[in-house]
């Protein structure tokens, strides 16, 4: 972590750094497009879109399932995660 002060003793306010990410929306029917975007990081299980994230735990047993309307994001270090549409809209804007 690059924070230069001790932020473990009390709450502090942080602003998100401006970064560019890549994303695709999940509409429940576009698995091929999502798979092309995220590769082996996504799969279908019992009709749900599952994504492998950094938060899956050491054994990989934790599963993160998308809801129709969620965005699949590729982050700044190549990691993948979901984002709810309202949070996505408040956080990101189209670059290209």
In this prediction the pTM is 0.82
Could you read off the pLDDT tens digit of each residue along the chain, which spans 96 residues? Answer: 455 678 788 888 888 888 899 999 999 999 999 999 999 999 999 989 999 888 877 777 778 889 999 999 999 889 999 999 999 999 999 987
Structural domain contains residue 70: yes
Structural domain contains residue 60: yes
Listed residue (74, 78, 65, 67) closest to 92, CA to CA? 74
Structural domain contains residue 12: no
Range of the domain at 61: 22-91
Structural domain contains residue 39: yes
Q: How many CB atoms lie within 10 A of CB 75?
A: 14
Structural domain contains residue 96: no
Domain count, the chain: 1
Structural domain contains residue 15: no
Structural domain contains residue 4: no
């Amino acid at each position: 972590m690059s924070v230069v002060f001790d932020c473990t003793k009390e709450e502090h306010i942080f602003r998100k750094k401006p970064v560019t990410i890549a994303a695709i929306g999940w509409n429940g029917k576009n698995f091929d497009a999502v798979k092309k975007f995220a590769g082996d990081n996504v799969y279908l299980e019992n009709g749900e879109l599952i994504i492998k994230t950094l938060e899956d735990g050491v054994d990989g047993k934790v599963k993160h399932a998308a809801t129709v309307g969620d965005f699949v994001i590729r982050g700044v270090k190549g990691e993948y995660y979901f984002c709810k549409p309202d949070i996505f809209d408040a956080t990101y804007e189209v670059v290209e």
